[in-house]
């Protein structure tokens, strides 16, 4: 683990590995969705079910991205607030965040607009849709615009987190933060309930896309930030980290809870999940909590986590 004392952030190889695994899982999920004939669990004995898992639940990688964003971006803010020290320049922070998102996004959008007319299925954007794409304001509001690339729905969610984080920083003390976390969870559940009702008669997938915007996924970002506050608080108070066996147990607990959620609750209701099923309403909390446990355990150096995510292959 490499420490950057200037901003209170650590480089943790296992977290980078976890991010890579999450990206691969998302890719495999969408590849499997576009090729529904792929059933490794039926064609490959014994290990086929394990290989099929990322094709069926790879969308969970997005949840990992949101948790990791909340955790990693909040580390320096949490350290500064808890230690009453000088905070990083907001101008520099916003510049780095915007440069991380918009140049690549505009490059891809430009390529699609220029070459899209060559394809038979191409439908030109009308003025409102073009404006929504230019400002990345799709899938938001009362009449959401579907993005040209389905995966782009995550971009305004991530951007929203970038924008609100500095305003949340002043709450990053245990007493204040608990109130904010509870309020964020309740707001998310109420918003998702509204989206499930308001977009019930819209096109397929509209409920999930609308419910996913801020504040729909706010609990995952807040849970990631909560994890950052906890590790920074213990570090600043010079409180010894849990022993290795306990950190490994925390990692295994997080994995067990995450798998239980996916297999026992989401899988039996997957056909209705995207249309506003109760599992979608509480998903950011029910799934975000175990993922946060995994992230904290990796940050603290879980031996099992390092074996899985910090090896040379990963």
Decide if 277 is inside a domain.
yes
Decide if 99 is inside a domain.
no
Tell me the whole-structure pTM to 2 decimals. 0.88
Decide if 67 is inside a domain.
yes
Structure confidence at residue 35 (pLDDT): 72
What mean pLDDT is reported for the chain? Answer: 86
Decide if 21 is inside a domain.
yes
Decide if 165 is inside a domain.
yes
Q: Could you report the per-residue pLDDT of 197-230, keeping only the tens digit for each?
A: 988 877 667 788 888 888 999 999 999 999 999 9
Dihedral over alpha carbons 202, 204, 205, 211 (to 10 degrees):
30
Structure confidence at residue 7 (pLDDT): 46
Structure confidence at residue 190 (pLDDT): 96
Number of domains in the chain: 1
Q: What are the φ and ψ backbone dihedral angles of 9, each rounded to 5 degrees?
A: -110, 150
Domain that holds residue 300: 2-88+152-309
Q: 78 to each of 164, 216, 288, how far by Cα in Å?
A: 14, 23, 19
Dihedral of CA 211/185/269/263: which sign?
A: positive
Please count the helices (runs of H) and the strands (runs of E) in the chain: 15, 2
Decide if 24 is inside a domain.
yes
Kindly report the number of other CB atoms within 10 A of residue 313's CB atom: 4
Decide if 100 is inside a domain.
no
Residues 6+ apart with CB under 8 A from 258: 60, 287, 290, 291, 294
Closest CA to 213 of 279, 137, 162, 272: 137
Overall average pLDDT of the 114-135 stretch:
80
The pair of three-digit structure tokens given for residue 201, joined into one six-digit string: 């008669």
Decide if 22 is inside a domain.
yes
Structure confidence at residue 207 (pLDDT): 86
Closest CA to 123 of 148, 142, 141, 99: 148
């Amino acid at each position: 683990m490499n420490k950057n004392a200037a901003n209170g952030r650590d480089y943790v190889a296992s977290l980078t590995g976890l991010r890579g695994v999450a990206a691969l899982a998302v890719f495999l999920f969408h590849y499997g969705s576009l090729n529904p004939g792929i059933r490794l669990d039926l064609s490959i004995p014994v290990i086929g079910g394990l290989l099929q898992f990322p094709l069926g639940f790879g969308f969970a990688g997005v949840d990992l991205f949101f948790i990791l964003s909340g955790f990693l971006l909040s580390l320096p803010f949490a350290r500064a607030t808890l230690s009453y020290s000088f905070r990083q320049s907001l101008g520099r922070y916003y510049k780095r965040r915007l440069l991380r998102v918009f140049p690549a996004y505009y490059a891809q959008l430009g390529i699609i607009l220029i070459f899209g007319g060559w394809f038979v299925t191409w439908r030109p954007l009308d003025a409102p849709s073009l404006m929504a794409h230019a400002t990345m304001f799709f899938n938001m509001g009362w009449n959401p615009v579907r993005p040209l690339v389905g995966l782009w729905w995550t971009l305004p969610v991530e951007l929203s987190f970038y924008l609100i984080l500095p305003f949340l920083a002043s709450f990053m003390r245990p007493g204040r933060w608990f109130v904010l976390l509870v309020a964020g969870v309740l707001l998310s559940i109420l918003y998702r309930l509204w989206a499930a009702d308001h977009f019930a008669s819209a096109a397929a997938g509209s409920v999930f896309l609308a419910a996913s915007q801020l504040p729909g996924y706010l609990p995952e970002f807040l849970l990631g930030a909560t994890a950052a506050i906890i590790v920074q608080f213990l570090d600043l108070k010079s409180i010894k980290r849990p022993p290795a066996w306990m950190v490994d147990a925390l990692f295994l607990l997080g994995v067990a809870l995450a798998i239980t959620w996916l297999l026992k609750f989401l899988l039996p209701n997957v056909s209705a999940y995207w249309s506003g099923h109760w599992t979608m309403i509480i998903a950011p909390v029910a799934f975000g909590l175990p993922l946060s446990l995994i992230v904290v355990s990796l940050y603290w150096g879980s031996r099992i986590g390092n074996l899985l995510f910090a090896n040379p292959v990963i």
